[in-house]
């Protein structure tokens, strides 16, 4: 599933071709893609509205229209791109939702697994309650993070995947941050020392910032809006590197399961 760096890259790639465009039509062939309101009401509301901004909150894409917020979640296989209406792309075979735009353009939502969704709302908090702080903003405060760690005894990797703890972190960047911070993924969150929590706070920011700089990790379905790949996958420290040498000490990276997710770590740098 695309995480914060991938969604941020998509948002940045959509702004130039999308902002200022007006919706002229809507098409879909999978009703569950249109989460709310119902598809007929969705079409009646969105046609005629203009895109004014494209932002991100956690893993959600937020498009401000005249009267509504268009919310998109890519889930596992979603791709969102603007193209000429008569242009053909490889990802078109999985397009289940598209908006016709003025100027002969289309916003297409390709989603092979059909888990992604779009929604119109005037209250994003009601659609996505309990999101934690944005890790690259001042709202992600070290003191507050330490207090939250002390409230949880579950494995630190599992807590990092909890979107109410910190928004936008997923499997990839949790593994990367824990490797940077030299913390074993199974360590109980409330066992981290002040020094370890400080390292983890900085590592979360660093892992995500580097992911954004490299325009995301194209390990599965993720592509940028122009169809090209990101390069973060070429710089992984731990994630998806089982059996390969740790970039710090050379010990083979090991893989275990934490919170039902494949988890990669160095048994020397990240001692249990």
Catalytic residue among 3, 148, 176, 215: 3
- Angle formed at CA 37 by CA 31 and CA 38, multiple of 5 degrees: 40
Rounded to whole angstroms, the Cα distance separating 231 from 73 reads: 22
**Mean pLDDT score across all residues of the chain:** 97
Looking from the CA of 206 toward its CB, the CA atoms found within 13 Å total 16
For domain 142-265, give its CATH number from 3.30.70.260, 1.10.8.50, 3.30.450.20, 1.10.10.10: 1.10.8.50
Query: Is 2 considered catalytic here?
Result: yes
Query: Is 205 considered catalytic here?
Result: no
Q: For residue 145, what pLDDT band results from cuts at 50, 70 and 90?
A: very high
Query: CATH top-level class for 4-127?
Result: alpha beta
pLDDT of 14 reads 98
59 φ/ψ angles, rounded to the nearest 5 degrees: -105, 15
Query: Is 261 considered catalytic here?
Result: yes
Which pLDDT tens digit goes with each residue over 200-242?
999 999 999 999 999 999 999 999 999 999 999 999 999 999 9
Among the listed residues 182, 206, 194, 192, the one whose alpha carbon sits nearest the alpha carbon of residue 156: 192
Catalytic residue among 75, 214, 261, 267: 261
Among the listed residues 220, 216, 164, 199, the one whose alpha carbon sits nearest the alpha carbon of residue 270: 199
User: pTM of the prediction?
Assistant: 0.97
Domain residue spans of the chain: 4-127, 142-265
Which pLDDT tens digit goes with each residue over 43-72?
999 999 999 999 999 999 999 999 999 999
Catalytic residue among 2, 133, 185, 225: 2
For range 249-254, the mean pLDDT? 98
Catalytic residue among 59, 98, 108, 224: 59
Query: Is 6 considered catalytic here?
Result: no
For range 184-199, the mean pLDDT? 98
pLDDT of 272 reads 84
Decide if pLDDT at 1 tops 90: no
Q: End-to-end distance of the chain based on CA atoms, in angstroms?
A: 28
């Amino acid at each position: 599933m695309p995480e914060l760096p991938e969604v941020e890259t998509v948002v940045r790639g959509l702004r130039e071709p999308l902002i200022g465009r007006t919706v002229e039509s809507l098409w879909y062939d999978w009703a569950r893609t249109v989460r709310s309101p119902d598809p007929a009401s969705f079409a009646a509301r969105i046609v005629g509205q203009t895109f004014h901004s494209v932002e991100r909150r956690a893993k959600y894409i937020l498009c401000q229209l005249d009267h509504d917020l268009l919310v998109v979640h890519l889930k596992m296989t979603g791709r969102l791109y603007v193209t000429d209406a008569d242009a053909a792309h490889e990802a078109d075979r999985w397009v289940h939702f598209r908006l016709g735009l003025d100027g002969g353009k289309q916003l297409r939502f390709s989603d092979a697994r059909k888990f992604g969704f779009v929604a119109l709302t005037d209250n994003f908090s009601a659609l996505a309650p309990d999101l934690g702080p944005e890790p690259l903003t001042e709202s992600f405060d070290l003191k507050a993070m330490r207090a939250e760690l002390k409230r949880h005894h579950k494995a630190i990797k599992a807590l990092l995947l909890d979107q109410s703890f910190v928004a936008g972190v997923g499997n990839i960047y949790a593994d990367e941050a824990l490797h940077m911070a030299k913390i074993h993924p199974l360590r109980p969150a409330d066992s981290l020392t002040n020094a370890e929590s400080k390292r983890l706070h900085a590592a979360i920011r660093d892992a995500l910032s580097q992911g954004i700089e490299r325009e995301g990790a194209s390990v599965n379905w993720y592509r940028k809006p122009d169809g090209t790949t990101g390069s973060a996958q070429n710089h992984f420290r731990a994630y998806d590197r089982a059996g390969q040498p740790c970039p710090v000490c050379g010990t083979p990276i090991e893989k275990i399961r934490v919170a039902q997710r494949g988890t990669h770590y160095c048994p020397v740098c990240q001692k249990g």
